[in-house]
Chains A and B, each alone.
Chain A
């Protein structure tokens, strides 16, 4: 294990200790489990305190959540805003949905990144490390949720996306949005526990919720989980992404590379020797 690995492991171990309270001994390297956030859209009132807290936490322009009327139109995250809340008119009335990076279990962006700037930390958050990024935007091509946003108007552009407040988590705090939510629509914790909470809620209130936790299996599972009163298609969620983790789509190709690198030179040399032999006989 080299120095970098050691630092990562101890950092993650420290974060897990802090996040989960008292533990008898430091967790072994493989024991770290992911954290996540459960979003219960039946509880969200669309106050957008999460947007405000997120922007303040990360030094981005803070939206005027009282007056800017942003809920009138559907918005996307941007290079100035890591999360947005959108309002959807449904049969159950207006439903508010918070949108941000899903922190996939096996993120496409991290698999795509050739410099490891996009990085899935041991405790769950997928972060962007600016010292490594060369701005190729391959992460943007690969993300099934179209989340990473690029600063096209700067000479030294950043990639902006939610990082689950990894710094706050390391200090034992909750992400800024979760801490700011007044209605407990956002719940932060170990993903394993959140799944249980979500299932209990759905089973105990079958008329209130659609029988599905979005993010449980999508693209292999995501860190952000959603509950809803209406089918997820009506809330702008992509529902045809499948359950295969996205890095698996390139796995077969990448596994084939050494095979070609071993086999093809030998084959070519063999062909060449035969061709030379034939020339000599002619």
Chain B
């Protein structure tokens, strides 16, 4: 189906109908319907939708444990703040491949961009569920109310623009799937621009998510509050992104192994060690940033209570330890250790983001927030729905399997 076919009335009608049939065919599920993942995820997705209906009819309080003291809970603290950090792999990998032209990593670029795009669409999109008046979300977009003074204004706009940039980066894959050659060539020429734009946007909104909490100075526990939160968020998003690529890559290689050339398994290992090297370095830098802040704010005075212990657990157990493990694994070529280190890193990022947004937020308050089961179900629903779409795309579009244009730049 070449889009350059002549456009006349009847011909266009036949084109559209053919396209419609193609889409319907593609929408049909492939593979087994009864798998452990499907059996678990489908009921949760359905339940999550039911909970959301209740939420929109009866207000946020009916399904969440949010309060006047803790206005942001699991949906913002985990879905948006943590989810976006974990999606940082996309801007790191596009930097490595498209800016620095390290062709070695090209095989994983497409899947990482797809993951990044879906992560933003689903997790940043999930924040719409958390808004009290989501229909007014167009206000800061259409110019009715531009709150320039707000960090959240910046973050919101950057999310929007970044999703567009990511989609442009991924669109050649879609064009290949649809067989639109000319469109694909055009989109390919836009890639470097979209990548540069995307990296710039990512730098600003990863740090921007941290900057959101700068005005909560009086309310976040001093061990976690610092004027450098934006920089810490940015640096840790690099380590988080690289670790997620390793984890998601490992899973994808098992689940979709029918798509991957067996000779490529070895190359993938090489890539993993390369990513692990990057993770070790970024965790090292992150750790020393935290040490600098520790000294500057004289935090040794604050280590005497449970909060101090919790802080040390996060920094020593989930930043320093994976850093050392990554370095050891790269040096001694231990793939299993890399995976452990990646899991520890991701856990550490989750802990850090949740600490700042929920756990150590309003830490002096007598009431403590914990998510309701309904908030957890909706969060799981978002994660599972994203995986469903990911699986749909990977099974149909040339993401993991080599593209028909292998050898040309993609």
Residues of A within 8 A of B (CB): 76, 78-79, 108, 110-117, 131-138, 140-142, 144, 146, 149-157, 238, 240-241, 246-247, 249-250, 252-254, 257, 260-261, 264-265, 268-269, 271-272, 275-276, 278-279
Contact = CB atoms under 8 A, between A and B. Distances in A.
A153 B147 contact: no
B392 interface: no
A134 B149 contact: no
A260 B206 CA distance: 13
Contact of A264 (B132, B203, B212): B203
The 6 closest A-B pairs by CB, nearest first: A135-B132, A152-B61, A114-B153, A134-B136, A142-B215, A137-B71
A134 B215 contact: no
Interface string B96-136: 00111100000000000000000000000000001111111
Interface string B132-168: 1111110110001111011111101000000000000
A240 B219 CA distance: 11
Nearest to A246: B215
Contacts of A261: 200, 204
A260 B146 CA distance: 21
A272 B207 contact: no
27 contacts: A79-B68, A111-B150, A114-B152, A115-B140, A115-B147, A116-B146, A134-B133, A134-B139, A135-B136, A136-B152, A140-B68, A140-B71, A146-B68, A152-B60, A152-B67, A157-B60, A250-B214, A260-B203, A261-B204, A264-B199, A265-B200, A268-B200, A269-B196, A271-B99, A275-B100, A275-B101, A278-B101
Nearest to A269: B196
Looking at B137, B156, B215, B217, the one whose CB has the most chain A CB atoms below 10 A away is B215
A249 B215 contact: yes
Given A114-B140, A133-B132, A272-B99, A141 B215 contact: yes
B56 interface: yes
Main secondary structure of the interface of B (DSSP, over half): helix
B328 interface: no
Contacts of B208: 253
B213 interface: yes
A28 to B, nearest CB: 24
Contacts of B199: 264, 268
B215 A117 contact: no
Looking at A153, A155, A156, the one whose CB has the most chain B CB atoms below 10 A away is A155
Nearest to A252: B227
B77 to A, nearest CB: 11
A137 B80 CA distance: 14
